[in-house]
Chain A
């Protein structure tokens, strides 16, 4: 029998020994995104190492770069929480003058991207820097101890959106930074999830090969923040897709009338109820005593799909 070949490169840029929690969804993003980037650089420039990483302060930064150690095997820089996109702009400009071939990869969490880093992100995209910005979305400020961000979904418990007599938990709809990025009419915007690692891999590769800016919003479950067992990280991410909570799509040049969807049910009817997604997670536990809140969450998800141009049915 012929030896089967793995669908992803065996090169690693994210070394073990880092301090991410067991079962960390975002660590999977770090590993797969850098692998995909490397494959893209190899195909485009003949050099798998032709990239550098600018990282926002956040979980993946603190677990990977504790002096004198580093988990990174690519040139890497962290400066602050809100400025990964601006730092990446500077690195990219310097690379141009140094005559380096390659592309810059920026990482930020949802706090560093949707909230405090949104301005720097917008500037970088608008200026058309040759940077792929990856927002690893674990849907709260996990690094500081699970506070809500604008990317936290409706109904979720966080330490700053606790459910109580006057609260159902987070009371605002999730903000979709991918759509804000698309409004910049940049070459490529996509969402992805660790649930579909090969789709994620393909999208990062595509983004990396494009000349100009690209933005990816990638769903990365958080074991302590979502109150899930560590082995369920991927399973819960899969349910997010299967229940319609997490859309997988690609938008090119801001053309929101021609969004390409992945794993979208042809008839627009999701087969699994969102309750299956919610019940796996401690952060939504309280919602099962508040059916009206689950109903409201469903309405918000339908509204999100409507923005994407899809009428959906949720069981």
Chain B
């Protein structure tokens, strides 16, 4: 029988790692993710998890050791956030290019400067082009589930790409919620053992990993990563279905909420989706035709799902906790490119919100909604809207 425990998001991530039975874990402490390696250390110390835990001297070495372990043919896991993920940046590309299905838990946190330990998605969003699959969890249960799912998707032979699961700093990492811990037996069945056919460091069958790709071969190697990420769309759907059958919880690339007759759909990711759904309930009671949508899988980007959603609404309002300076929100850009060749498309609005742990209030959501309502009637006034900005101190 599955066990229910009240736990923090970080503990849920550590439990997911424990259930997945990685053979090597390499991690370096960073706020707000520190509890993940702490909890895993406990599991290892108590003999509850039979893994080598490498207490590395940096995040760069954490991911490098994971690459070494995964290339040697074992399941590998790490956890980090923010600056730590940024320090890994170089090796993230390599892990994907070498086709190593490492899984990483991220406590989504803002990037310096100024230094800030609180939530936004700048860390993972900035790694969107590395070739890692990206999941965003709404709550602690999703954090646990989406790490298990990440392993299954990453290790699928049609994919063989690393995957990261993000859950919001403090809002999830440090907040306790009831979480159902799946049965180990079921997880074992679901994941199986990782037995790679492509990458190993076995003296009986020596191979060379990490070759130099000349112009005559590089583009094909990169195309293979592209192809694997495209394959991941189908694999993720299959894994979501299998997960639902086994564990009873349903996941979708994009989860819609009260969108069927919505004129305006507010789109977000992560824990903000919970707040947004409550807000939609409130506005529905007031008779406003607004819906919500949560993007669970950001890479591969759910292009088809966004197109289907776009057919329902007059305005898509993207609420996102990241910014690409000189352009705008990253999620906005992905939504916009999904729709660019559609014959009919809704207005798409770009809202930057909740950076560096700024609370996202109903008041802010009201502001975004009223801009969307105005845009529906009068057109778009601004390229990028910063919501909740304290203009008085600027």
Docked CA distance A75–B202 (Å): 6
Decide if A304 is an interface residue (CB 8 Å cutoff). Answer: no
When the two chains form the complex, which single residue of B66, B76, B91, B203 contacts A50, counting CB atoms closer than 8 Å? B203
A63 closest partner in B (C-beta): B212
State whether A93 and B65 are in contact (beta carbons under 8 Å apart), knowing that A67-B213, A77-B71 are contacts in the complex. Answer: yes
Question: Does A87 belong to the interface (CB within 8 Å)?
Answer: yes
| 8 closest A-B pairs by CB | A90-B68, A90-B65, A123-B57, A94-B72, A78-B210, A86-B61, A86-B64, A70-B208
- Asked if A98 is at the interface (CB within 8 A of a chain B CB), the reply is yes
In Å, the complex CA distance between A95 and B207 comes to: 16
Give the contacts of B189-216 with A (CB-CB under 8 A).
200-204, 206-214
Contact B23 A94 (CB under 8 A): yes
Which range holds the interface residue count of chain B? 35 or more
Contact check, B203 vs A100: say whether CB atoms are below 8 A apart.
Answer: yes
Q: Is A255 an interface position by the 8 A CB rule?
A: no
Contact of B56 with A123 in the complex, beta carbons under 8 Å: yes
- Chain B residues, CB < 8 A from A242: none
**B42 lies within 8 A of chain A by Cβ:** no
Q: Which residues of A contact B212 (CB under 8 A)?
A: 61-62, 65-67
Q: Mark A33-72, 1 if CB is under 8 A from B, else 0.
A: 0000000000000010111101100000110011110101
A selection of 16 A-B contacts at a CB cut-off of 8 Å is A52-B72, A55-B210, A67-B212, A67-B214, A74-B206, A77-B209, A77-B210, A78-B211, A80-B64, A82-B60, A83-B91, A86-B64, A87-B68, A90-B66, A94-B23, A126-B57
Interface of A is mostly: mixed
Contacts of B7 in A (CB 8 A): none
With A65-B211, A66-B212, A97-B51 known as contacts, the answer to whether A83 contacts B60 (CB < 8 A) is yes
Bound complex: CA of A97 vs CA of B203, how far in Å? 15
Residues of A contacting B211 with CB < 8 Å? 65-68, 70, 78
- Whether B64 lies near A95 (C-beta < 8 A) is no
Contact of A90 among B26, B57, B213 (CB under 8 A): B26
A87–B209 Cα distance when bound, in Å, is 12
Could you tell me the distance between the alpha carbons of A241 and B323 in the complex, rounded to whole angstroms?
Answer: 58
Pair A94/B69 contact, Cβ less than 8 Å: yes
Given contacts A68-B217, A80-B91, contact A93 B203 (CB under 8 A): no
**Contact across chains for A65 and B210 when beta carbons are under 8 A apart:** yes
CA distance A87 to B65 in the complex (A): 5
Contacting pair A66 B69 (CB below 8 A): no
B54: Cβ under 8 A from any A Cβ = yes
Whether A294 is near chain B, meaning CB under 8 Å from some CB there, is: no
Contacting residues of chain B (48-84) with chain A, CB-CB under 8 angstroms? 50-52, 54-58, 60-61, 64-74, 76
Tell me whether B94 is interfacial, beta carbon within 8 Å: yes
Is B261 part of the binding interface, using a Cβ–Cβ cutoff of 8 Å? Answer: no
A92 proximity list for chain B (CB < 8 A): 68
A83 to B23, CA, bound (A): 21
Contact A86 B204 (CB under 8 A): no
- In the complex, are the beta carbons of A79 and B52 less than 8 A apart? no
| Pair A79/B203 contact, Cβ less than 8 Å | no
Q: Which residues of A contact B207 (CB under 8 A)?
A: 75-76
Q: Known: A47-B203, A89-B26. Is A123-B58 also a contact (CB below 8 A)?
A: yes
**Contact with B74, one of A66, A68, A87, A94 (Cβ below 8 angstroms):** A94
Instruction: Report the Cα distance A59→B286, complex, angstroms.
Output: 69
A119 partner residues in chain B, CB cutoff 8 A? 57-58, 61
Measured CA separation A85–B56 after assembly (Å): 11
> Residue B24 at the A interface, CB < 8 A?
yes
Bound complex: CA of A229 vs CA of B54, how far in Å?
Answer: 45
Q: How many A-B residue pairs have CB under 8 A?
A: 163
For the A-B complex with A93-B68, A119-B57 known, give 8 more contacts whose Cβ atoms are closer than 8 Å.
A68-B217, A74-B203, A75-B203, A87-B65, A90-B71, A97-B52, A100-B202, A127-B55
Judging by beta carbons under 8 Å apart, are A72 and B57 in contact? no
Q: How far is the CA of A62 from the CA of B213 in the complex (A)?
A: 10
A300 contacts the other chain (Cβ, under 8 Å)? Answer: no
Q: Does A73 contact B (CB under 8 A)?
A: yes
What is the chain B residue whose CB lies nearest that of A123? B57
Nearest B-chain residue to A75, judged by Cβ? B201
Quick check: B209 and A76 within 8 Å, CB to CB?
yes
Taking the closest CB of chain B, its distance from the CB of A159, in whole angstroms, is 22
- Closest B-chain residue to A70, C-beta based? B208
| A80 pairs with B90, CB closer than 8 A | yes
- Give chain A residues whose Cβ lies under 8 Å from the Cβ of B68: 54, 77, 79, 86-94
Distance from B135 Cβ to chain A, minimum over Cβ atoms (Å): 24
Q: A93 to nearest B CB, angstroms?
A: 4
Residues of B within 8 A of A61 (CB): 212
- Interface flags for A92-129 (1: CB within 8 Å of B; 0: not) read 11111110101000000000000000011011001100
Distance in angstroms between the alpha carbons of A54 and B61 in the assembled complex: 14
Contact flags B95-124 to A (C-beta < 8 A → 1, else 0): 000100000000000000000000000000
Q: Are A79 and B94 in contact (CB under 8 A)?
A: yes
Q: How far is the CA of A225 from the CA of B264 in the complex (A)?
A: 66
Minimal Cβ-Cβ distance residue in A for B209 = A77
- Determine the chain B residues whose CB is within 8 A of the CB of A73 once the complex forms: 206
CB-based contact B94/A96 at 8 Å: no
Q: How long is the Cα–Cα vector from A73 to B72 in the complex, in angstroms?
A: 16
Which of B52, B56, B69, B94 is close to A80, meaning CB atoms less than 8 Å apart? B94
Partner of B61, one of A72, A96, A120: A120
Please, how many angstroms separate the alpha-carbon atoms of A94 and B58 in the complex? 19
CA–CA, A49 to B58, complex, Å?
32
Cα A252 to Cα B200 in complex, Å, equals 33
C-alpha gap A74/B72 in the complex (Å): 13
CB distance from B122 to the nearest CB of A (A): 24
Min CB distance A127 to B, Å, is 7
Task: Report the separation of the CA atoms of residues A73 and B205 in the bound assembly, to the nearest whole angstrom.
Answer: 9
A100 to B72, CA, bound (A): 11
Q: Are the C-beta atoms of A102 and B72 separated by less than 8 Å?
A: no
The answer on a CB contact under 8 Å between A120 and B76 is no
A55, A75, A97: the one contacting B206 at CB < 8 Å is A75
What residues of chain A lie closer than 8 Å to B201, measured between beta carbons?
52, 75-77, 91, 94-95
Please name all residues of chain A whose beta carbon is closer than 8 Å to the beta carbon of B73 when the two chains form the complex: 94, 98
Determine how close the nearest CB of chain B comes to the CB of A1; give it in whole angstroms. 37
